């Protein structure tokens, strides 16, 4: 049997295999952002399906940072008790779970928060008024501490680690992209300056949770738009993290869906052939040739053959998937049992379209559900 099914270390914890459920907004928190029994059961089902590591949907770290309805929150100690129930449900099924911590920046939904969105710079919409205002330096410093507090709450709730969301056009990703960051202070300009908030956030988290609690990062391989975060900058930033910050793994994804200016990948939907899988494979190859931090690769992986090749050829250390686990929570168990057919997921994104309309996160076309 392939090494992909063997136990593997991530920081100081051991995963049952190299499969990761990529962070996916579930829409199952209550209106205040508390975890619910329904969400805990959803996570437990993934653990029972033999997913090696489960990463939750993005949990917002500050009230003005909410992006979606029924999104997890972690900005106050009042959320710890229900998060503890979620982590406990996964541990009952002998799984591991990380909390993804995030802030939507100027993409926050003021209809949900009732608060003014913030970001690295004031972003103008169609009219004369900005949809967000630029953060002050003091607010940036406070935000780094807010991320640290959120990580500490995850630790207190019994999670096995945290993932910082630094991709897909949310706050940290906005600081990294010149298109959205035209400040005139030490948080803009060079990549080192644009990365400053991320680096300070990691240091703040480490100061609060200690050096042994796993901390991983999600960033874009590139943004896929002009004046966006580029592949060469991703590699440079990863090298900087390799030298200066203790992160236990980096997950690379890609793209930014804001107002249609970017794209997530060369292939976005439809049943894929093996040659179309692993959208960010080339980025992963370059990453692994230069950087020692373990790599999680997400994006369009649908077959055990491709997943195994990525691991055995040294292009990735862990395989992340999102939509296939919506379709088949027990996909890993199926593959491990000898049924090696590709994931039944049709990659049509109907699950997310329905979720945006207020439906539950579930597969609407897969016959296995």
Cα–chain center distance at 56: 8
Total H helices, total E strands in the chain: 13, 14
Query: Rounded to whole angstroms, how far apart are CA atoms 316 and 308?
Result: 10
Is residue 364 within 8 A of residue 354, CB to CB? The reply is yes
Cα–chain center distance at 263: 16
The single residue of 60, 75, 170, 318 carrying the catalytic annotation is 170
Cβ burial of 362 (10 Å; 0-12, 13-18, 19+) is middle
Q: C-alpha angle with apex 99: 95 to 105, nearest 5 degrees?
A: 155
DSSP E strand boundaries for 39-80? 53-55, 59-60
Is position 60 annotated as part of the catalytic site?
no
Length of the chain as a residue count: 369
Which residues are part of the catalytic machinery?
Answer: 170
């Amino acid at each position: 049997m392939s090494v992909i099914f063997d136990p593997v270390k991530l920081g100081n914890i051991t995963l049952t295999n190299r499969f990761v459920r990529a962070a996916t907004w579930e829409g199952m928190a209550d209106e205040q952002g508390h975890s619910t029994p329904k969400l805990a059961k959803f996570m437990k089902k993934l653990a029972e399906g033999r997913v090696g590591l489960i990463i939750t949907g993005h949990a917002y770290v500050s009230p003005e940072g909410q992006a979606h309805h029924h999104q997890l929150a972690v900005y106050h100690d009042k959320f710890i008790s229900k998060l503890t129930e979620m982590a406990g449900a996964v541990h009952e099924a002998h799984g591991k779970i990380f909390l993804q911590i995030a802030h939507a920046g100027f993409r926050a939904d003021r209809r949900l928060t009732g608060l003014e969105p913030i970001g690295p710079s004031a972003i103008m919409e169609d009219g004369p008024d900005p949809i967000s205002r630029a953060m002050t330096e003091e607010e940036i410093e406070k935000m780094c501490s807010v991320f640290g507090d959120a990580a500490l709450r995850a630790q207190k709730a019994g999670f096995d680690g945290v993932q910082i969301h630094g991709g897909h056009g949310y706050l940290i990703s906005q600081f990294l992209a010149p298109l959205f960051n035209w400040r005139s202070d030490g948080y803009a300009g060079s990549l080192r300056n644009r990365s400053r908030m991320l680096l300070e956030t990691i240091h703040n988290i480490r100061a609060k949770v200690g050096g042994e609690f796993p901390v991983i990062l999600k960033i874009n391989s590139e943004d896929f738009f002009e004046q966006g975060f580029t592949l060469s900058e991703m590699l440079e930033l990863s090298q900087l993290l390799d030298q200066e910050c203790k992160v236990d793994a980096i997950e690379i994804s890609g793209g930014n869906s804001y107002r249609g200016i970017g794209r997530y990948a060369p292939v976005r939907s439809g049943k894929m052939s093996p040659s179309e899988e692993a959208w960010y494979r080339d980025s992963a190859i370059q990453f692994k040739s230069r950087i020692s931090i373990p790599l999680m690769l997400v994006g369009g992986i649908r077959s055990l053959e491709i997943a195994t090749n990525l691991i055995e050829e040294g292009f990735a250390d862990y395989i992340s998937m999102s939509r296939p686990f919506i379709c088949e929570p027990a996909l890993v168990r199926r593959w491990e049992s000898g049924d090696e057919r590709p994931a039944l997921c049709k990659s049509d994104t109907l699950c997310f379209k329905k979720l945006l309309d207020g439906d539950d996160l579930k597969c609407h076309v897969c016959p296995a559900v």
